[in-house]
Chain A
Amino acid sequence: MPTTSPAPAEAPGGDAQPPRGEPGAAAVLGRPAAGAFVAPALLLIAAFLVFPALWTLYLGLTDYRLTGAAAVNPSFVGLDNYTQALSDPQFRNSLVVTALFVFGSAVIGQTFLGFALAWTMRDWRSPLRSVVEVLVIVAWILPGSVVAFLWIAFLDGQSGTLNALLGGVDTEWLLETPLLAVIVFNTWRGTAFSMLLYGAALSAVPPSHLETARLAGASAFQQLRDVVLPTIRGHILTSLLLISLWTFNDFTPYLLTRGGPNFRTDVLPVFIFRNAISSGQLGYGAAISTVVLGVNLVIALFYLRLLRERT
């Protein structure tokens, strides 16, 4: 299951606490007690989340290896790893594959499908709606290894269900159109988040806004474009941000294709895994990780800039 997190719809600006609660509340808890309470979580986060991220920056500048001479005595190699990466065609391939993967399955696939489902069913109260929602969510919840195999079976050339439904087709999808298959797979897997988020956002659009537009003669499409989308712009951006980041860092394609055939689905997480853990080139792997972190940062900043631009 992809790492799930709730979607904050607004970047933080202020504190929701009433001023009266501040010093008074401190009297209830007291600074020392509060510090003690926060300490365990903060320690764990610092040690296993923050520190590794920072350490990556350093490791990328070394030639750390799992075995061999450099494992015992790693040395500082400066930007060698980075230049190696830039001239590594496999790395460039991986970048492209990842970009296509993110764009295809997250930005387009999950967003459109999720929004379309949320919009279509927004006023439905029938059990059919619950059925659809359950199906979509279960696709998200099932463990990754199981889901990967379900799709391997589904897409199998000889006996897969898809080919059975399509009649006399015997395309080995995972071998002939691997990237497309993986994109469709990830769309299937992750639509639930967008669907739920847009569902909640749509139900928060004041009906009076829509009615005003309808009374003014706007068609359903125009209402959607002129009233709904601007109102939920913040949610769209937040959703895009989160699913872009999650998809960028998703390791699940490995379970489907292991990056193949011929590196055609070699997304960056798989690339890192192969180079760092499998081949033991930790320094090189760390450098790639830093690049990944950097790209994530750029993506995040890009979306946050768009988010801040609203109104």
Chain B
Amino acid sequence: MAEVVLRSLVKEFPGGVRAIDRLDLRIEDGEFFALLGPSGCGKTTLLRTIAGLEAPTEGTIEIGGRDVTRVQPGGRDVAMVFQDYALYPHMTVIDNIAYPLKVKRVPKAERHRTAAEAGASLQLEATMERRPGQLSGGQQQRVALARAIAYRPQVFLFDEPLSNLDARLRLEARSFLKRLQHELGTTTVYVTHDQSEALALADRMAVMEAGRVRQLGTPVEVFRRPANLFVAGFIGSTPMNLLEATVEDGGLRVGRSRLPLPAAAGAHLAAGDKVVVGVRPEYATLAAEERPGAIAGQVTLLESLGSAFLVSVEGDGVRAQVTVPEGGQPAVGDRAFLVPDPGRLLVYRADDGELVGAGQPAESAAAQGMRATPP
């Protein structure tokens, strides 16, 4: 069993910078776990701490039930794939793949055989005798993967391995990676700043900010019910609408419009409370006539998303966006009414950014064994 358990982990750098701030996390055996967050949030530091390249200031790390907090990097049975792949330029591909085994003093014939197998499984047979400098970006990435695979570790650690590939290749590599991990079944911790990547790849993910986990959950949970404004603003290819509102008469006043107040949230709010309403552009529709529970305004911008349009509607100081399938888009200047799906309305407290009526989603972390630390 190769689960990774972090308890009360703190990493402080000289100068007082807290890269990891009292983190508790449990990554299940065989899980594809993503660490998502903006630069500087501590995700890479966390990965390096698990690898052993950074020593934690406080707290413990367990891999496969073994306390590895004080264990040297080489003794943790993990393989790390770096953003720049770290392929040794003076060695051929096969020597690169075989290197971890050379370190373990595996005899040459055997380690070359294992390396060749790993390389073949990633379609690298033709490149075995070449140098990394002669390979394309995609090939280099696969060599780095092959090297990690040949090592047969308990845990894979990936530090933004796709960010050096160009966009088209990145998508292909993404699917490939997901399939590979599924076949191998190795516990994987994956760091990325690309939220779409995390959503696509992860079984579960942690969204981090400033050294803390702001939300822990499956991609669906994180997408549907972001636990706070930070996560709400971070997740989603099209930015979520976050509108200032006030609770009024059992509803939400947004500018001059009135939106329905979801019951789960309403139970915790009183009239006059300042909140922020969140609704994804994908979870709203556009109407040409006045509707109840809609935001009135004028169409100011149309952005093509390929098979849909992102329509910006502005009125009374309120600006919101909605996606509209192609063919249904209005013209700029038209009067329009943005109707959010009431079942998808999220209400956040204006003062601390927390989801109101959070109840279920945040507790599911506890149900899975470990609570995300409340910020």
B119 lies within 8 A of chain A by Cβ: no
Determine the distance from Cα of A257 to Cα of B72 in the docked complex, in whole angstroms.
63
Closest to A23 in B: B54
Annotate A15-31 by CB proximity to B: 1 below 8 A, 0 otherwise: 00001101110011000
Smallest Cβ distance from A26 to chain B, in angstroms? Answer: 9
Task: Please tell me if the beta carbons of B13 and A27 are within 8 angstroms of each other in the complex.
Answer: no
CB contacts (< 8 Å) of A27 on chain B: these are 52-55, 72-73
A298 to B45, CA, bound (A): 47
* A16-48 at interface with B (beta carbon < 8 Å): 19-20, 22-24, 27-28
Give per-residue flags for B45-83: 1 if the beta carbon is below 8 A from chain A beta carbons, else 0: 100100011110000000000000000110000000000
Chain A residues contacting B13 (CB-CB under 8 Å) are: 19, 23
Q: 1/0 per residue A110-132: CB within 8 Å of B?
A: 00000000000000000000000
**Which positions 20-65 of chain B face chain A at CB distance < 8 Å?**
45, 48, 52-55
Number of A-B contacts (CB under 8 A): 20
- Nearest to B11 among chain A residues (CB) is A23
- Interchain CA distance A19-B14 in the complex, whole Å: 9
For A, the interface residue count at a CB cutoff of 8 angstroms equals 7
B138-152 contacts to A (CB < 8 Å): none
Query: Which chain A residue shows the least CB distance to B49?
Result: A24
The one of B17, B53, B72 in contact with A24, judged by C-beta atoms closer than 8 angstroms, is B53
Chain B residues within an 8 Å CB radius of A20: 45
CB distance from B165 to the nearest CB of A (A): 23
A109→B52 CA distance, assembly (Å): 57
A175 to B45 Cα, complex, angstroms? 72
Docked Cα-Cα span, A22 to B17, in Å, equals 14
CB closest chain-A residue, reference B45: A20
Give the shortest distance, in Å, between A81 (CB) and chain B (any CB). Answer: 49
Q: With the chains together, A23 CA to B12 CA distance in Å?
A: 11
A151 to B335 alpha-carbon distance, docked (Å): 95
- A170 shortest CB reach to chain B, Å: 63
Give A22 to B73 CA distance when docked, in angstroms: 16
Q: Which residues of A contact B (CB under 8 A)?
A: 19-20, 22-24, 27-28
Q: Which 7 A-B pairs have the closest CB atoms?
A: A24-B53, A27-B53, A24-B54, A23-B54, A27-B73, A24-B48, A19-B13
Q: A19-B15, A24-B48, A28-B53 are in contact. List 9 more A-B contacts (CB 8 A).
A: A19-B13, A19-B17, A20-B45, A22-B14, A23-B13, A24-B54, A27-B52, A27-B55, A28-B73
A-B contact pairs, 17 of them (CB 8 A): A19-B13, A19-B17, A22-B14, A23-B13, A23-B14, A23-B55, A24-B48, A24-B53, A24-B54, A27-B52, A27-B53, A27-B54, A27-B55, A27-B72, A27-B73, A28-B53, A28-B73
